[in-house]
Structure 1
Amino acid sequence: MEISTFTAREFNQDTSKAKKASHKGPVFITDRGKPAHVLLSIEQYQKILGLAPSIVDLLAMPETVDVELKPQRIENMSDLTDFP
């Protein structure tokens, strides 16, 4: 993980550079020499919060394009005996 620091002026002048840096690690944005903000990728943010990706996020991943999903049809719900 790489930590980057941008002054508020640098951030305002090159936001895309800060966004790219956020994929490598947190980006601290300083205001008058003191850390004022932190820019994180959404993956890093979710990891910090302990959030698991949703099924929609997982299915939208590029590597899942070739996965065939053929769910089995359940005819009788009473046949299911193993509920969590």
Structure 2
Amino acid sequence: MSAREFSRDVSAAKREAHHGPVTITDRGKPAFVLLTIEDYRRLGETGEDMLKRLSMEDDIDVEFEPLQLSLKVPEL
């Protein structure tokens, strides 16, 4: 939902938030997310800091080593 649409019809955004998070865009890029209070509280159930949970730090393997490829151009 664009920021303009959100400004014109906040009630529609609130209704949609009951079905899941509503992303509000600004100039075509995600800028905000509207959640129900239940969804917001569920995000904090583990007691972790919200920023830490959203950072995806645990999803990145810092010991990643890309495969070495050896490519040869066929002779004609």
5+ long unaligned stretches in structure 1: 1-5, 52-84
- Any residues of structure 2 matched to 1:22-61 within 5 Å, and which? 22-50=17-45
**Is 1:7–2:2 an aligned residue pair?**
yes
Deviation of 1:26 (Å): 0.1
5+ long unaligned stretches in structure 2: 47-76
AA in 2 matched with 1:37: F
Deviation of 1:30 (Å): 0.1
Distance 1:33 1:7 in 2: 7
Distance 2:36 2:18 in 1: 6
Deviation of 1:25 (Å): 0.2
Q: TM-score, normalised by structure 1?
A: 0.53
Match in the other structure for 1:68:
none
Match in the other structure for 2:13:
18
Q: TM-score, normalised by structure 2?
A: 0.59
The Cα RMSD (Å) is: 1.0
